[in-house]
């Protein structure tokens, strides 16, 4: 089965809608979302409603849990906490209730799904081979998918060897039929790898092939929406730089 993997939407409907159009044009049978539907952007209700409509599996990220009142905002940066409070004020109650009911991981699919990591599904950023090694020791599936870091990455460990990893650009195709893997599709709504295009992944769970995808979207429109909502301007400015 071919599956589209998304993560870190961050209330950026411009990016999410563009990615959903690209997914619809692909041969993906399902879409799995690794969390953070809300956070830094200006359209939380729209993004939650799109996820409810299109995601077969949807996880809760730390920003989702904060908006749902399950995490203290003191654990977040100033910009993130301002955005979370604003989101709580403007979101429909039924969408907040939806966020509150989401799990932060799922072990029911052919690949393990976590918002952050197999060791800490909510908070751990897996950005080094050392951390990936620890996660590969902890994970129950041979292949796992994580989000949270906003960077498209892959980590691999073959039998008897140490884990290795590297950032992945759009169009990169990996054969993952052997060895252990920890894959991050990157962020739909706020990439942080220098490429402002929305990041996602196509995963074939039969041939075990993973393709990193990038989709252009209306970055200026997303930035205008953030400014119009009177959220911190830095959240708008960073979109154009992919940072």
Nearest to 7 by CA among 60, 53, 50, 45: 60
Separation between Cα atoms, residue 154 and residue 172, nearest integer Å: 11
Separation between Cα atoms, residue 17 and residue 207, nearest integer Å: 28
pLDDT tens for the 243 residues of the chain, in order: 999 999 999 999 999 999 999 999 999 999 999 999 999 999 999 999 999 999 999 999 999 999 999 999 988 999 999 999 999 999 999 999 999 999 999 999 999 999 999 999 999 999 999 999 999 999 999 999 999 999 999 999 999 899 999 999 999 999 999 999 999 999 999 999 999 999 999 999 999 999 999 999 999 999 999 999 999 999 999 999 999
Separation between Cα atoms, residue 81 and residue 87, nearest integer Å: 10
Amino acid 35: pLDDT: 98
* Domains of the chain and CATH, by start: 2-241 (3.60.21.10)
Amino acid 227: pLDDT: 97
Predicted model pTM: 0.97
Q: Using an 8 Å Cβ cutoff, are 88 and 65 in contact?
A: no
Amino acid 184: pLDDT: 98
């Amino acid at each position: 089965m071919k599956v589209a993997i998304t993560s870190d939407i961050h209330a950026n409907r411009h990016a999410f809608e563009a990615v959903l159009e690209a997914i619809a044009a692909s041969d993906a049978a399902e879409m799995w979302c690794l969390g953070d539907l809300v956070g830094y952007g200006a359209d939380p209700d729209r993004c939650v409603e799109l996820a409810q409509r299109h995601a077969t599996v949807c996880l809760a990220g730390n920003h989702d849990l904060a908006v749902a009142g399950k995490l203290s905002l003191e654990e977040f940066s100033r910009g993130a906490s301002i955005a979370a409070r604003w989101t709580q004020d403007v979101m429909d109650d039924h969408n907040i209730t939806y966020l509150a009911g989401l799990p932060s991981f799922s072990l029911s699919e052919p690949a393990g799904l976590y918002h952050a990591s197999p060791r800490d599904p909510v908070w751990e950023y897996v950005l080094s081979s050392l951390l990936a090694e620890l996660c590969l020791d902890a994970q129950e599936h041979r292949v796992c998918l994580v989000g949270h870091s906003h960077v498209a990455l892959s980590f691999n460990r073959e039998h008897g060897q140490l884990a290795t990893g590297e950032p992945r650009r759009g169009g990169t195709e990996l054969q993952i039929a052997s060895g252990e893997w920890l894959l991050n599709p990157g962020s739909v709504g706020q990439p942080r790898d220098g490429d402002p295009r929305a990041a996602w992944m196509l995963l074939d769970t039969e041939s075990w092939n993973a393709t990193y995808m990038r989709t252009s979207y209306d970055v200026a429109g997303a930035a205008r929406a953030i400014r119009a909502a009177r959220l911190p301007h830095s959240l708008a400015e960073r979109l154009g730089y992919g940072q």
